[in-house]
Homo-oligomer: A and B are copies of this chain.
Amino acid sequence: MDKIKVGIIGAGGYGGCGAVELLQAHPYAEIRALIDKQDVGKPISALYPHLTGFCDLPIVAPDTPDCPDDFQVVFFSTPDGVGQKGAASWLEKGVKVIDYSGDFRFNDLETYHGYAARIGKDPNHASPWLLARSVYGLAELHRADIARSDLVGNPGCFAVSCILGLAPAVQSGIIEKGSIICDAKTGVSGAGKTPNPAFHYPARYDAMNAYRISGHQHVYEVERELGLVAGEEIRITFTPHVVPLCRGILTTLYASLKEGQTLRQVEEAYRSFYKGEAFVRVFGPETPQVSTNVRGSNFCNLSLNVDERTGKLIVVSLIDNLVKGQAGSAVQNMNIMFGLDETAGLLHPGIYP
């Protein structure tokens, strides 16, 4: 079989780099072109020297004669607002699209407007007719739809950790749905590649903080997805924090258990929900999960705990924000969209320490 040809738009950012790391060793896919507006002409290995000898393709500018377009799939590893402008023309040519941003995470304009308002973007969507066609790219919840789709909105990193950590509880009805609190801690790589006073090394050293309290845009997709699982509207309280490490999201999820629910029922709900899933590992309360357990890998580790004194379910959800939270989910979605083994190119344990 010929390998699937992949074009990566926005290749120069961390999300592009992550896709290159995975795809350069993928058994059934190959990188055909790396597209970006910055650093045109430079090999990707000049931007990311660890890739030297693994991928030395040059960055090409979009919409130029020398930019290849014979792809079977395009990754838009781009900020909000880019994919929505470019996706339609690729889809018309029969090229599948996976977008990393919020552009295709919502299926109707109204929800998109709420999301766009949160991030201070133009509420208008450049291709609103595509919204109904797009699928939310969280394989564990939408595998069948992803397989049938040619347009996938890759989920937000915080959203992956929250949704995977809460879906079984919401679906099984063991928690009070109005009681959900999500306290997320992310490494700094989630902020992307562009320098910024808040992520300047000395400013971030020995430093942690909460931010966008009750106002983070990923809340939208978490509530939408949990609502779909629950069959009713769900609201969550969500507080993101930045902690001074590089990779990883640890989200501590709190909800009130319904009367009579115990750890055993919690464990049953989660193990049953994730039965057969390659990338979700469920643990009981006995072993604290450390973020390095998933660093560099596509896994989500969940540890289940019950505070019997207060009747709270406490789930600790761990992912690598740049893998399961971004490029790894994108490759997992690509595998599903092309009928490949879902785990192809994704079974790496990461390194330790």
In the complex, the chain B residue whose C-beta lies closest to that of A301 is: B49
Q: Are B209 and A351 in contact (CB under 8 A)?
A: no
- The segment from A70-78, A121-129, A196-204 that touches chain B is A196-204
The chain B residue with its CB closest to the CB of A238 is B307
A308-B214, A353-B14 known; A292 vs B206 contact (CB < 8 Å): yes
**Least CB distance, A206 to chain B, in whole angstroms:** 5
Beta-carbon contact of A189 and B353 below 8 Å? yes
* Contact partners of A252 in chain B: CB under 8 A: 183, 210, 239, 241
Cβ of A284 to closest chain B Cβ, rounded Å: 11
Copies of this chain present in the complex amount to 4
Complex contact A236–B310 (CB within 8 A): yes
Instruction: For A288, give its contact among B25, B209, B297 (CB under 8 Å).
Output: B209
* Residue A133 is within 8 A (CB to CB) of chain B in the complex: no
8 A Cβ contacts from A294-326 to B: 294-297, 301, 303, 305-310, 312, 314, 316
Interface flags, A33-58, vs B, CB<8A=1, else 0: 00000000000000011111110000
- Show 23 A/B contacts (Cβ-Cβ < 8 Å), sorted by A: A21-B349, A50-B294, A50-B349, A54-B349, A188-B202, A195-B197, A201-B244, A201-B246, A205-B245, A205-B353, A206-B245, A206-B246, A206-B292, A207-B290, A208-B243, A208-B248, A209-B316, A210-B316, A213-B288, A213-B316, A237-B307, A239-B252, A239-B314
